[in-house]
Amino acid sequence: GTVRMWNFSNGQCLKELRSDTDLEVSSVMFILEGQNKLIVAGGWNRKVLVWRDDTGSSAAAVEPERRMAGHNEDIISIAFSSPNLLATSGYDGKVLVWNMDSGVVKFTLAIPDLHKLDVDQRAIWQLAFLDRRSQALCGTGADGYLRFWNVKEGVLVWEQYANHGSDQSIVALSTDPTNSFLYTGDTAGCIKVWDIHLFVNVAGIDQSFNIIELHYWRAHDGCIASLDYIDRHDMVLSASADGRVKMWAIGADGGALAAVFGESSAWSITQPSTFRLVKNEASAPAPASAPAPAPAMASPPAAAGAVAAAPVDAVVGSSSGEMTAEGEAVVGTGPAGGTDPYTYSDDDAVSEELEDDDDDGDTSRHTREELEDRGAGHNTKELISQILNRSNRDQVRKTQQVPTMHRLRLHPVIPVAASPRSHSSTPR
């Protein structure tokens, strides 16, 4: 039940921050907002404790300045969003959003159909505010789900199964400063990278194409305890129950091990040639009990001659190609390779037809001649429609063909070691 503040340079204990009980403290956060320096903690006493960090340096015990009660179960995670929003998650699957100035609960957020989940599957293990996404709040669950809430309106925006592994809880979460990527860690020791730059913090729309899995690899032999994004070096730091702390560089091919803290051999994060790429794992399928994704919103009809969009699961890279039965993408080598770098849609017939036009790109003469020949058989409304359709088709010539895929080889499914957490007993 005690929080201690240390001088990182010399190891001196500066303060001892005491709570009301001897129960475990499970989450601590330092908040710097203007001139205010606060230490916020939560744990098994189910209260949010707030201490003010003054300039004094004393090892004497310090009592909390504020105690905020509202949780009915153990507090697991804390997140802060400037200027005054604090979010805390509980073992019972409930998230409280507080006004730090008044200490009042603004919203109580909960998992849909919470009563249908086993007790050990309800916990929200980690929270992170996405401030660049209009104050979206992301949470990772013991049931293996990612969830996004809009804390301005207090509503669940989106949830989806994270495909981390059978019966694996997502216990670690981090994001980059732009909130373009998410990094999640599970109880099996694996890390997954997500592209969320298209995520929209609005309820009622299909976000399945806006939250995309990029990489998934085994990072540790034990449960991931913590993930943190290091902005200065553009790397991810991971800590695990296996007693190791590792630093990862995330590239187009996945996670590359840059450093292991505590190793006898020297390493340097400024020498990428020494990084070791770790093979990606195969994501686990969603369980049969997983709810179906939200229905997609109706999309407007495509303009005449527009290039058809490929399904998101098929578009994996920036070059071109098509999938073979062997699970391999067959592609060209790109503009520098000498072979045809693109895969074209059915609308290419329109482009080929337009190649018969004048070299100077003037198609208006053809349109006039066609309409003069056919004018006797059409009324004015039909003539206008033909002109508009031809105008839309002419724009295809100015549209650069869209590349689609790189050559990728899909790895076979690798057996994953049993989780250190049994199904019936989640670590508290």
- Report if residue 210 sits inside a domain: yes
Does 168 map to a domain? Answer: yes
Using the structure block, give the residue that is written with the tokens 């400024």. Answer: 270
DSSP for 258-282 reads EEETT-SS---TT-GGG-EEPPBPP
C-alpha 382/C-alpha 374 separation (Å) is: 11
Tens of pLDDT along the chain (428 residues) come to: 789 888 888 888 888 888 878 888 999 999 998 888 899 999 898 999 999 887 665 657 788 888 999 899 999 999 999 999 999 999 999 999 999 988 999 999 988 888 888 888 899 999 999 998 888 999 999 999 999 999 999 999 999 999 887 788 999 999 999 999 999 999 999 999 999 999 999 999 999 899 999 999 999 999 999 999 999 889 999 999 999 999 999 988 899 999 999 887 888 888 888 888 998 887 666 655 555 444 433 333 333 333 333 333 433 333 334 434 333 333 333 333 433 333 333 444 434 443 444 444 444 444 444 444 544 455 555 655 665 565 455 444 444 444 444 444 445 555 545 544 444 444 54
> Which three-class secondary structure string do you get for 316-357?
CCCCCCEECCCCEEECCCCCCCCCCCCCCCCCHHHHHHHCCC
Q: In this structure, what token pair is assigned to residue 44?
A: 């098994």
What is d(CA 213, CA 215) in angstroms, rounded to the nearest whole number? 6
Q: With the CA atoms of 229, 230, 234 and 240 taken in that order, what torsion angle do they form, in degrees rounded to the nearest 10?
A: -60
Burial of 246 (0-12, 13-18, 19+ CB in 10 A): buried
CATH number at residue 128: 2.130.10.10
Q: Is residue 198 part of a domain?
A: yes
DSSP 114: G
Within a domain: 256: yes
How many angstroms separate the CA atoms of 164 and 282, rounded? Answer: 9
Neighbours of 34 (CB within 10 A): 7
397 in a structural domain: no
Range of the structural domain that residue 171 is part of: 2-277
Give me 211's structure tokens.
């939250």
The answer to the question of residue 349 being in a domain is: no
CA dihedral 112, 116, 121, 124 (to 10 degrees): 20
CA 371-376-377 angle, 5° bins: 90
Helix (H) or strand (E) run with residue 369 in it: helix 364-374
Instruction: Decide if 372 is inside a domain.
Output: no
DSSP string spanning 75-96?
A: EEEEEEETTTEEEEEETTSEEE
Dump the DSSP string for 383-418.
HHHHHHHHHHHHGGGGSPPPP-----BPPPPPPPPP
The label of the residue with tokens 């007693």 reads 243
Peptide bond into 83 cis (omega under 30): yes
Residue 299 domain-assigned (yes or no): no
What is the number of structural domains in the chain?
1
Beta bridge partners of 50: 40, 66
CB 67 within 8 A of CB 49: yes
Query: CA–CA separation, 425 vs 121, rounded Å?
Result: 10
Token couple for 399: 């549209």
Tokens of 394: 């002419």
**Which of 146, 208, 138 lies closest to 176 in space, CA to CA?**
138
Report the candidate in 131, 6, 20 with the shortest Cα–Cα distance to residue 79.
Answer: 131
Count of C-beta atoms within a 10 Å radius of residue 390? 18
